[in-house]
A and B are shown apart, each in its own frame.
Chain A
Amino acid sequence: MTRSAHIVSRRRFLRTTGVAAAGATLLARAPAALGQQVRELNVWHTEVEPQTVKTIQDTSIAEFERKFPGFKVRQQALGWGDLNTKLLAALAAGGPPDLTHLNPFMTASLYVKNLLRPMDELIRALGENDIHEATLKLQYFDGKYYGVTHAMGATYFCERRDLREKKGVKPPETFDDMLKLCAALTEDGRYALQVPGEKLYMGFVHPAEWLASNGGTWADARTWRPQLNGKSMLEILDYLQQLNRFQPAGWSGQKYLDTQAALATGKIAMSHLSGARAIGYIEKYAPENMRDPEHFQPMLRPHGPSGQKGISALDGENWAVLTQSKYPSEAFEFLKLFYKKEHYLAYCHSVPIHLTPIFKSMLNDAAYLAHPRIKKWRLWHDVMLTALRDKRLLPLGFTRPEDNLLPFLAELDGSSIVADMVVEVMVGGKPPKAEADRAQRRAEELLTQLGHKRWS
């Protein structure tokens, strides 16, 4: 064959390319061209584990798309640290998702800006009385529900139970007990404890827990004046300064997952932040003969001198339908399918214990408890039930239930004011009072700038 036989004329090339492009466009738009419009239901959530994403796809989404043939559900899993920024950017751009997870601490700020749709009908359909009280009214404003928690997790200490029992020390009830336990467990190059260094945790989630466990609050309920240099916070800072002696020197530069690795490999005896995800680390990295709840168990938080009981953070974002949602009715229909028993069970089993069901009827349901990991690590589930029963859980970043009305928690979290105070006191060894006063001044300035100043 001659070379010229292979040469394609320019006209022919353009014609072929044009026809191909038109064909591709037509194929892509085929349903629309055939009069069947494909609509996209955008769903954002914060459960990034691949098995969870797949479970949602195979259960709720599959059934939704069968029931609503004109719809395609697009789910997007985001790390929850990214959620706020991305969601606010999407809202500003006028293209938010139809259905999204929200961090409870930002729900109030969206509610006051009229950005949320009520979902009373959905809550009644799911069974208002069956939803656990720890979550039911977290997004309850002006007599209406504006959110429903997807599942419940909790932040506890994860401790080397065997080491503590060898020392003959009981689980700590108070800050003082905790310091004594830490002193007993720090030996032979092993540290007792490690707090995660991320600002989100050491500068927001844990300070909220410490305050709640020591009778303190972020802000005065009436005037919203910050309470960062009050008695409660000063006691906490004093405790933290002492606690720091039992931590590795570089903790403030390490992350949550580093603390899990350090615990599993025996470098520390307790990780300060640990949910059921820690089980995955233990099963992967701990010595084989120690991968069990006899060696690793969760431990509830101690309380401070001004508090009554130790409080842990309830890790549970809520679903919300935004006023800008393009398909709100379908979003609610999707949620009904999400909470359908078999779908929801599969969802909760995708990360057992971390995704504890919100329905009271399911907490001791045989089908839920039958999962092999829950069977093996049953103690962890029981600690969760104890915390729920004793009301020792508050949503992430809350110092009391009424904090759901504070519209500035997201900004306070973002500001690093509290993180700077904690790190200066713990790592920098600065005097608690001076640092607390500085943080108080900065917080007052911030709230004034944001237009939330109600005090005189």
Chain B
Amino acid sequence: MRKNALAGWLLLAPSLVLLGGLVVFPIVYNAWLSLFDKHAFLPVQRFVGLGHYVYFAHDEEFWNSFGHGLVYAGTTLVLQIAIGIPTALLLNEAFRGRNLLRGIVLFPYVIPTIVAVILWKWLLNDSYGLVNHLLMALGLTRMPVAWLGKDWIMASLVITSVWQFFPFVVVTYLARLQTIPPELYEAATVDGAGAWRRFAHVTLPQTRSVLFVIVLLRSIWMFTKFDTVWLMAGDGGVSRYIRTLPVYAYARSFTYLQAGMGAALAVIMFVILIAATAVYFRVFEREEALS
């Protein structure tokens, strides 16, 4: 028996070493680093304990970034679902050209982020962008809209992100839709249910679990999204209006050169996401139990 247990541990060892080295160690090291005032590149460091956390508690930039992150993640999540689910329902129907359309819908998700952002920045540019050109040609506006300026930059970022990431919702939801037994719809139709009631009483209950996963993953991913946000405003003056926590953490680490502070921000984000996920799980479990 003990021999078997030993063999089991030995077989598990490579995975444990990998997990420990690649997952646990960076998290622990990051938490450790957050207790130091450490220069990003030079061997200069000083122990400050929880000093960085205390600092961020009253740091205006932190709360601005947190607020921007909530707005960005919340808006993009709602829009991705609002667009993704109807699209998945549509693509679940039988019609000519459906496979081609499925491929096209997936396109934004498979192109590199840098391409997507450059494309949208080009479209929205207020000097030579196609969007303004069309708006003016249609007489909807007399002057170009500054899509990449202060008032519209968050909207532009949301549009770009929703365009880029809603196919994930489509694909995931569509995969689940295709496994719903058709007999359920047939029975509902026989009972006189129309399209809306079939959706509400068959589709939605059947897809609850996948919706749960979509909301969980997409909200985590959008809250921690760095590349799209960074590329949209980068280091520009306007970045102030869309600076989210990951961008602020990057800035603290690599432009302020304060690695300890960057690490503290990463720990704070980690804790926020763990807490939000725990609450979300709890709510979902309670609703499951009730239903």
Contact of B257 with A by CB under 8 A: yes
Residue of A nearest to B151 (CB): A249
Give A153 to B42 CA distance when docked, in angstroms.
31
State the interface size on chain A (CB cutoff 8 A): 45
Contact of A422 among B237, B255, B261 (CB under 8 A): B237
A423 and B127 CA atoms in complex are apart in Å by: 20
Pair B149/A198 contact, Cβ less than 8 Å:
no
Tally the A-B contacts, defined by beta carbons under 8 Å.
111
Q: How large is the interface on B (under 10, 10 to 19, 20 to 34, 35 or more residues)?
A: 35 or more
Q: Does B257 contact A253, Cβ atoms closer than 8 Å?
A: no
Q: Are A198 and B235 in contact (CB under 8 A)?
A: yes
CA distance A199 to B235 in the complex (A): 5
Is B149 a contact partner of A415 (Cβ separation < 8 A)? no
The B235-265 residues at the A interface (CB cut-off 8 A) are: 235-240, 251, 254-258, 261
CA distance A263 to B150 in the complex (A): 22
- Write the chain A residue with the least CB distance to B152: A250
Are A449 and B258 closer than 8 Å at their CB atoms?
A: yes
8 interchain pairs, CB-CB under 8 A: A92-B43, A199-B236, A202-B237, A414-B256, A423-B237, A423-B240, A449-B258, A449-B261
User: Which residue from chain B places its CB closest to the CB of A250 in the assembled complex?
Assistant: B146
Partner of B127, one of A261, A438, A450: A261
Given A250-B146, A250-B147, A423-B150, A411 contacting B257 (CB threshold 8 A):
yes
Closest to A258 in B: B127
Distance between B147 CB and nearest chain A CB, rounded to angstroms: 7
**B254 pairs with A85, CB closer than 8 A:** yes
Task: State how many angstroms separate the Cβ of B136 from the closest Cβ of chain A.
Answer: 11
Least distance between A267 CB and chain B CB atoms (Å): 6
Whether A414 contacts B233 by the Cβ 8 Å rule is no
Given the complex, which residues of A lie within 8 Å of B237, measured CB to CB? 197-199, 202-203, 252-253, 419, 422-423, 427
Residues of A whose CB lies within 8 Å of any CB of B are 81, 85, 88-89, 91-92, 113, 189, 197-200, 202-203, 248-255, 258, 261-262, 267, 410-411, 413-416, 419-420, 422-424, 427-428, 438, 442, 445-446, 449-450
Q: Is the CB of A449 within 8 A of B126?
A: no
CB neighbours of B147 from chain A (8 A):
250, 253
Q: How far is the CB of A283 from chain B (nearest CB, A)?
A: 19
- Nearest CB of A to B25, in Å: 19
Is B40 engaged at the interface, CB distance under 8 Å to the other chain? yes
Which chain A residue lies CB-closest to B52?
A449
Find B236's partner among A197, A411, A428, A438 (CB 8 Å cutoff): A197
User: Smallest CB–CB gap between A194 and chain B, Å?
Assistant: 9
Chain B residues within an 8 Å CB radius of A249: 126, 143, 146, 149, 151
Q: Which residues of A contact B146 (CB under 8 A)?
A: 248-250, 253
Q: CA separation between A86 and B254, bound complex, in Å?
A: 10
- A253 and B256: CB pair below 8 A? no
Contacts of B258 in A (CB 8 A): 449-450
17 new A-B pairs (CB below 8 Å) besides A85-B255, A88-B42, A258-B125?
Answer: A88-B41, A92-B40, A189-B143, A198-B237, A199-B235, A199-B236, A202-B237, A203-B237, A249-B126, A253-B147, A253-B153, A253-B238, A258-B127, A267-B127, A427-B150, A427-B238, A438-B60
A282 to B240 alpha-carbon distance, docked (Å) = 32
A252 touches B149 (CB 8 A): yes
Known interface pairs A199-B235, A422-B237. Does A250 touch B149 (Cβ–Cβ under 8 Å)? yes
Q: Which residue of A lies closest to B64 (CB)?
A: A420
Complex Cα gap A247–B262 (Å): 35
